[in-house]
Amino acid sequence: MHYFDYAATTPVSPAVAGAMVEALTTQFGNPSAQYPLGRAARDAVAAHRAVIAGALGCTPEELFFTSCGTESDNWAIQAALYYGRHRGKHIITTAVEHSAVLEPCKFLAQNGYEVTVLKPDRAGRITAEQVAQALREDTVLVSVMSVNNETGNVYPIAEIARVLKERRSAALLHTDAVQAFLKVPLSPADCGADLISLSAHKIGGPKGIGALYIRSGLHSKIIPLLHGGGQEAGLRSGTEATGQIAGFAKAVELRAANLEQILRHTRAMQDYAKERLLSIPTMELLGTPDAPHVLCMTLPGYPSQNLVGDLGSQGFCLSAGSACHKGKPSHVIAALNPGKKKAAGAFRISFGARTTREEIDLLYEALLAHKNTRFPML
């Protein structure tokens, strides 16, 4: 198998799996229980929270566990709308957001909110000036992702935060940082976001666990996502997923300890893949891969669904857009407006610590063979 879909999910290391097994077998108490086993589980959750918060650059009290990045995004939107409920019903987002942001915004647009959707240029870029032009007195939320999951574009969150401050806007700034955390520089202090969504399984952690950073000072001004036993400081009730939390923290610990090496390697693999694949006649790059782990390419006239199926049968794992689309046309690529053939031929490859030059050479050969043995669409 040749895995080129690290932006979809990542393998869990034995150390991460071991941390989860330990949490589930020896520290299996309910963190809300008052006897020693429960207190040990509660202390472990607190220690894991501190590890992840430290890597993000926030306090543990500002980090709240969720079930995934999608839940984090939905919670951030709900929190911002409640916070601004007396000021307006205007939302600003972009056409290239993950569906976990765009679908809630579509729902809200059908239920009394006005949503301004900013469009990227053909290189996939969104600017702070676009946000400034769209900003209104009744804007309550600006949601712009940090790194695009299909093109690797990095968006100017810090510049957007400065726009909001200069305009003295009361709108909250949310960024989906699922593809940014421990992949590009990111901290609340540097980017200025009020709400930041994270996910474990994009960085070597398990599926089923994510987190939401909520800026200190907002906690008392938003309503709980889930009502019940009062876990997560009363904002998200439900027994903590101790095994997943342990795996999340161990993945963060391992990646943070080797971050410079990992990022140098993924950037080198991205550069090499770009050089090799662009040597295939008619192959083109889509978007601007500022982040070191994602490339979006297109073979115009060669449908990516066929390409992914063909290469998949040969052991190559890559995607036609986001894995979350489940084969549907990519709204991200459509927003770049590359034309029908380029959009239809778009596919994503993404890199991790295990990617090798030899695998990229094999991918090059497989893509070239696919092109040379298929008739292009008219």
Q: Looking at residue 329, what is its pLDDT?
A: 74
Going by C-beta distance under 8 Å and a sequence separation of 6 or more, which residues neighbour residue 202? Answer: 6, 7, 9, 10, 69, 178, 179, 181
* Boundary residue ending a domain (187, 222, 256): 256
Annotated catalytic residue within 58, 191, 296, 324: 324
Going by C-beta distance under 8 Å and a sequence separation of 6 or more, which residues neighbour residue 377? Answer: 301, 302, 303, 341, 344
Count of structural domains within the chain = 2
Instruction: Provide the angle, in degrees to the nearest 10, between the axes of the packed helices 357-372 and 304-312.
Output: 120
Q: Which two tokens stand for residue 154?
A: 């990095």
Contact 159, 144 (CB under 8 A): no
Q: Rounded to 5 degrees, what angle do the CA atoms 129, 134, 136 make?
A: 125
309 and 237 within one domain: no
Q: With a cut of 70, say whether residue 265 has pLDDT above it.
A: yes
Residue 366 lies in a domain: yes
* Boundary residue ending a domain (210, 241, 256): 256
CATH number of the domain enclosing 131: 3.40.640.10
Token look-up 């709900």 returns 78
pLDDT digits (tens, 9 = 90+) for 12-43: 999 999 999 999 999 999 999 999 999 999 99
Contact 366, 314 (CB under 8 A): yes
184 and 87 within one domain: yes
Residue 378 lies in a domain: no
CATH number of the domain enclosing 352: 3.90.1150.10
35 and 103 within one domain: yes
pLDDT digits (tens, 9 = 90+) for 37-65: 999 999 999 999 999 999 999 999 999 99
Active-site annotation holds for 296: no
Percent of the chain with pLDDT over 70: 98
Rounded distance between C-alpha atoms, residue 322 and residue 50, angstroms: 31
100 and 70 within one domain: yes
What percent of the chain is helix, strand and coil (3-state, nearest 5)?
40, 15, 45
User: Predicted confidence band at 376 (pLDDT cuts at 50, 70, 90)?
Assistant: confident
Q: Which two tokens stand for residue 223?
A: 């309503």
Percent of the chain with pLDDT over 90: 96
pLDDT digits (tens, 9 = 90+) for 132-167: 999 999 999 999 999 999 999 999 999 999 999 999
Residue 32 lies in a domain: yes
Select from 262, 277, 275 the least CA-distant residue to 316: 277
93 and 37 within one domain: yes
State the pTM of this model. 0.96
**Looking only at Cα atoms, what is the longest distance across the chain?**
70
168 and 59 within one domain: yes
Q: Rounded to 5 degrees, what angle do the CA atoms 122, 69, 14 make?
A: 110
Going by C-beta distance under 8 Å and a sequence separation of 6 or more, which residues neighbour residue 102? Answer: 93, 95, 331
* Boundary residue ending a domain (202, 236, 256): 256
CA distances from 44 to 23, 35, 37, 48, 144 (A): 8, 14, 11, 6, 33
Q: Looking at residue 375, what is its pLDDT?
A: 81
279 and 184 within one domain: no
Domain that holds residue 284: 2-10+258-372
Q: With a cut of 70, say whether residue 327 has pLDDT above it.
A: no
Q: Looking at residue 325, what is its pLDDT?
A: 52
236 and 287 within one domain: no
pLDDT digits (tens, 9 = 90+) for 269-301: 999 999 999 999 999 999 999 999 999 999 999
Contact 323, 232 (CB under 8 A): no
Select from 332, 15, 337 the least CA-distant residue to 179: 332
236 and 90 within one domain: yes
